[in-house]
Structures are given as structure tokens and as C-alpha cells.
């Protein structure tokens, strides 16, 4: 299948999240969406976290205290990272002080929605990556930002498992190869260093089945939250490969946000 490569313009802001099991190819779809719609970018909470820690911002230092003790970074801290990023990009048209918004978010009420308003300019379009993963997080995020498209990516479990079971890793760099997708040039050998690739113990099929089941459970509530807000918000796209999925999500974004 050939993918059309011509880029398209958006006429209003797209604020997208991709929901899909590990191994379904969310990263691939994000990259393809950004190529197709150059006004889209990715805001990845993992990256924001790493940058803030590296630059020793107050938020980064605060987050680090949780990371050092092996705990999860609490939702309000993640929301704060997103808020900071959006306001430094000037993508929130009006906003109260960060402290007031975070305080409102922390109380779990909706008053922040009256002080933070996302821009509707198509140049403020993005795919939010890494958050929200649960319905509770989605609820908290909704006070800050109206997500307007949720793309649920679905591949058969057996297809995902065979993909995951074929993962080979270069341990010292973390480079991942997928047999049948992005094969190493020489089987079992890292392209750049020539060192041996390994398969992780925790990449066993049984472990992945458990992870996928867990994912199904949390994502069910997340999707339900968005469906309850607007029955047209969630679009389910199925395919056995990234090439089957891409044209469908391109068409959906085009239909909703295209010129």
C-alpha cells in the first residue's frame, strides 16, 4: 500500500490523543500524522518530565523527589508540566496564574476551565502523548484542555503478540528492532555498534498477555469517559499493520479539521 505523502492544512486546532495497546504502533502513527499535517506536533509528557529534570526547574526538582523514591509522579505534577508547556508556547488564550489553576485542578473541580482556554488556531494543534491513561486523569485534564479527537488504534491480540515477541534490544543503547518491521541489517546484531542483540526476559508472551489485558481494562474506562462527553469524540480504527491504520486516521483528521 502506498501512503499519499502530500501534506494537508488544518483549519482549526486539533487536540488529539491516541489510545492503543503497547505494540500497536502509536509512535509510528504520530510520526506519520505529523508528516501529513505539519501543523501537528507531539507533546509527550515523558519528554517534558525529562527536560524539566535535566534543566532543574522547580517542577522538575519536585517530580524528581517521586522518581527517586521509585514512585509515580502524581497527576497534578504532570498537569502542571502540560500547563507550563502550553502557556510557554502561548497556546492558552487566557489563563490565571499557574498556582491558581493547579489549585483548582487539585481540588478536582472545573473552575480552571474558566481561567484556561485553549487557542483555536490550527497552529496550536498537537497529539498529547503519555497522558491521560486513566479516566481520572482524563477528567482532570478536561479542566485544562478540551481534547477534541480520541483515536483508538486496534490490532488483533495475536498480531500484537507476534510483533512483541519479535522484539530484539541492543542493551547498552536501548535500540529496539522488530523482526518483520524494522529488522537489523544482520539478524541478531545492532546496526550501529555491531554488538549482539538480546530479547528481554519480560518480553515473554505470558507477561505481554497480562499487560495487554491490564491495558484493555484501564483504556475501557478512559474511552468511556470521552464517549460520555461526546459520542463522536472517539474513533476506533482497526488494522493488522501500521499501513492499514494510517489512511484511516488521515481521513478522520482531514474530515474533522482539514481545510
Which residues would be at the binding site for ligand NAG (CB under 6 A)?
156, 158-159, 240
- R_g (Cα) of the chain, nearest Å: 19
Q: Is 32 annotated as a binding residue?
A: no
Q: Is 185 annotated as a binding residue?
A: no
Instruction: Quote the least distance from Cβ 206 to ligand NAG, whole Å.
Output: 19
Instruction: Quote the least distance from Cβ 156 to ligand NAG, whole Å.
Output: 4
The residue (of 115 and 165) whose beta carbon lies closer to ligand NAG is 165
CA distance 198 to 165: 12
CA distance 47 to 249: 24
Instruction: Quote the least distance from Cβ 164 to ligand NAG, whole Å.
Output: 14
Instruction: Quote the least distance from Cβ 240 to ligand NAG, whole Å.
Output: 4
The residue (of 60 and 239) whose beta carbon lies closer to ligand NAG is 239
Closest to 152 measured CA to CA, from 61, 21, 38: 21
CB 27 within 8 A of CB 21: no
Place of cell 519536585: 62
Q: Is 130 annotated as a binding residue?
A: yes
The residue (of 99 and 158) whose beta carbon lies closer to ligand NAG is 158
The residue (of 10 and 24) whose beta carbon lies closer to ligand NAG is 24
Q: Is 26 annotated as a binding residue?
A: yes
The residue (of 159 and 233) whose beta carbon lies closer to ligand NAG is 159
CA distance 27 to 196: 25
Instruction: Quote the least distance from Cβ 74 to ligand NAG, whole Å.
Output: 39
Q: Is 70 annotated as a binding residue?
A: no
DSSP 14-55: -EEEEEE-TTS-HHHHHHHHHHHSTT-EEEEHHHHHHHHHHT
Return the C-alpha cell found at 69: 523514591
Give the β-pairing of 15-20 and 149-154: parallel
Binding residues for AMP: 45, 50, 71-73, 130-133, 137, 200, 211
Binding residues for GTP: 23-28, 167, 176-177, 242
Amino acid at each position: 500500500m502506498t501512503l499519499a505523502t502530500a501534506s494537508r492544512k488544518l483549519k482549526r486546532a486539533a487536540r488529539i490523543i491516541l489510545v492503543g495497546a503497547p505494540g500497536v504502533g502509536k509512535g509510528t502513527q504520530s510520526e506519520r500524522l505529523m508528516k501529513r499535517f505539519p501543523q501537528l506536533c507531539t507533546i509527550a509528557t515523558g519528554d517534558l518530565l525529562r527536560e524539566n529534570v535535566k534543566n532543574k526547574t522547580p517542577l522538575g526538582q519536585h517530580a524528581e523527589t517521586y522518581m527517586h523514591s521509585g514512585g509515580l509522579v502524581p497527576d497534578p505534577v504532570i498537569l502542571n508540566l502540560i500547563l507550563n508547556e502550553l502557556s510557554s508556547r502561548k497556546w492558552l488564550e487566557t489563563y490565571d496564574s499557574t498556582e491558581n489553576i493547579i489549585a483548582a485542578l487539585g481540588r478536582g473541580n472545573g473552575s480552571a476551565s474558566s481561567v484556561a482556554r485553549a487557542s483555536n488556531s490550527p497552529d496550536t494543534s498537537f497529539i498529547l502523548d503519555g497522558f491521560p491513561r486513566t479516566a481520572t486523569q482524563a477528567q482532570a485534564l478536561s479542566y485544562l484542555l478540551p481534547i477534541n479527537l480520541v483515536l483508538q488504534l486496534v490490532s488483533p491480540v495475536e498480531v500484537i503478540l507476534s510483533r512483541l515477541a519479535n522484539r530484539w534490544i541492543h542493551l547498552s543503547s536501548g535500540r529496539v528492532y522488530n523482526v518483520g518491521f524494522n529488522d537489523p541489517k544482520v539478524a541478531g546484531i545492532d546496526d550501529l555498534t555491531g554488538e549482539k542483540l538480546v530479547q528481554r526476559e519480560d518480553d515473554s508472551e505470558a507477561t505481554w498477555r497480562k499487560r495487554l489485558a491490564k491495558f484493555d481494562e484501564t483504556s475501557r474506562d478512559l474511552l468511556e469517559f470521552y464517549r460520555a462527553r461526546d459520542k463522536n469524540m472517539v474513533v476506533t480504527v482497526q488494522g493488522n499493520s501500521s499501513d492499514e491504520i494510517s489512511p484511516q486516521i488521515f481521513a478522520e483528521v482531514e474530515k474533522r479539521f482539514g481545510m
